[in-house]
Amino acid sequence: MIGLRGSEMSALFGFAERQLYVYKRYWVWEVVWLFYSIVSVLSIGFLASGLGSLGVSGGSFDLRRAQLYLLIGALLWGYLSLVFMEAAYAIAWERWEGTIEYTFMAPVRRITHLMGICLFAIVYGLARTFIVLLVAVAIFDIDFSHADIAGALVVLAASLAPLIGLAILTSVLPLLSPQKGEQMSFAVQGFMLLVSGVYYPLTVLPWPLQAAGFISPLTYALAGMRRSLLEGATAADQIPTVGILLGMGVVLIPLGFAVFTWAERRAKALGLLKRSG
């Protein structure tokens, strides 16, 4: 046996390793999802290409820039939504497999459990997005000569903090409602897509949706990434964006765990862990 910190580290790695085993067994599904991700990103890229033939050109409209704008949105949405859904589905997964009681009986802190799932999602998401990126670069001849990759990576890293907090908050839903929680996670994901400026600037939205976009961490992640990849904003230029994202993370991660702890206590009082329907 090893010490307390060592045992938590062992469990953290155990959750990530378990996810790896599960993905290996469901590898056909993963090929399907990868294909779907590639097709989605390519569709967005071709949509941008098609704008020219639809007569959307001239004036201040820059087709190459619009294409890159949309592709960055599609790629980043693909990555961040994967991390979000993996973490948000931490409980739903256990319900599907019937292992929720076993996992909740293990001598592991909940933060270790959820962070283990997030750790795998971050690494796996990076690998999958990298493949999609390679295909997109090969097909659309994307020009990153003006981009500041370091600046973009700093924003991407910072954006994970609030996203994990938000995902933990969402993972509570299947704990609160065994029947409807899973579908509600999808609704949260869809709403984030609508309000975060993935494919359009926030200014085109009606003001209530703009207000929702203003508090979505994805809005700042996307805007920051675009500034670095389209306009060459450096890591130093990104300090305000990184500050906002980390600030949101500082609020959302503890809030996520506090709400999860409350929900777990409630589930144990009402006997909701047992029900899988």
Q: Which residue ranges make up the site for another protein (CB under 8 A)?
A: 1-2, 6-7, 10-11, 13-14, 17-18, 21-22, 25-26, 97-99, 101-109, 265, 268-271, 273-274
State the minimum distance, in angstroms, from the CB of residue 178 to another protein: 13
- State the residue for tokens 């493949």: 131
Residue 222: partners with Cβ closer than 8 Å, 6 or more residues away: 72, 73, 76, 77, 196, 197, 198
- Taking the least distance from each CB to another protein, the nearer of 101 and 143 is 101
Residue 56: partners with Cβ closer than 8 Å, 6 or more residues away: none
- Taking the least distance from each CB to another protein, the nearer of 109 and 146 is 109
State the minimum distance, in angstroms, from the CB of residue 120 to another protein: 13
- Taking the least distance from each CB to another protein, the nearer of 13 and 33 is 13
- Taking the least distance from each CB to another protein, the nearer of 41 and 108 is 108
State the minimum distance, in angstroms, from the CB of residue 171 to another protein: 18
State the minimum distance, in angstroms, from the CB of residue 189 to another protein: 24
State the minimum distance, in angstroms, from the CB of residue 180 to another protein: 15
> Which one-letter amino acid corresponds to residue 57?
S
Cα distance from N-terminal residue to C-terminal residue, the chain: 37
89 in Cβ contact with 185 (< 8 Å): yes
State the minimum distance, in angstroms, from the CB of residue 270 to another protein: 7
- Taking the least distance from each CB to another protein, the nearer of 83 and 108 is 108
Tokens of 16: 């990530």
- Taking the least distance from each CB to another protein, the nearer of 11 and 158 is 11
Please tell me the distance from the alpha carbon of residue 120 to that of residue 53, in angstroms, as a whole number.
42
Angle CA 119–124–128, to nearest 5: 155
- Taking the least distance from each CB to another protein, the nearer of 174 and 249 is 174
Task: Burial-class residue 60 by CB neighbours within 10 Å (0-12, 13-18, 19+).
Answer: exposed
> Which one-letter amino acid corresponds to residue 162?
P
DSSP string covering 17-76? HHHHHHHHHTHHHHHHHHHHHHHHHHHHHHHHHHHHHTT--STT--HHHHHHHHHHHHHH
State the minimum distance, in angstroms, from the CB of residue 21 to another protein: 5
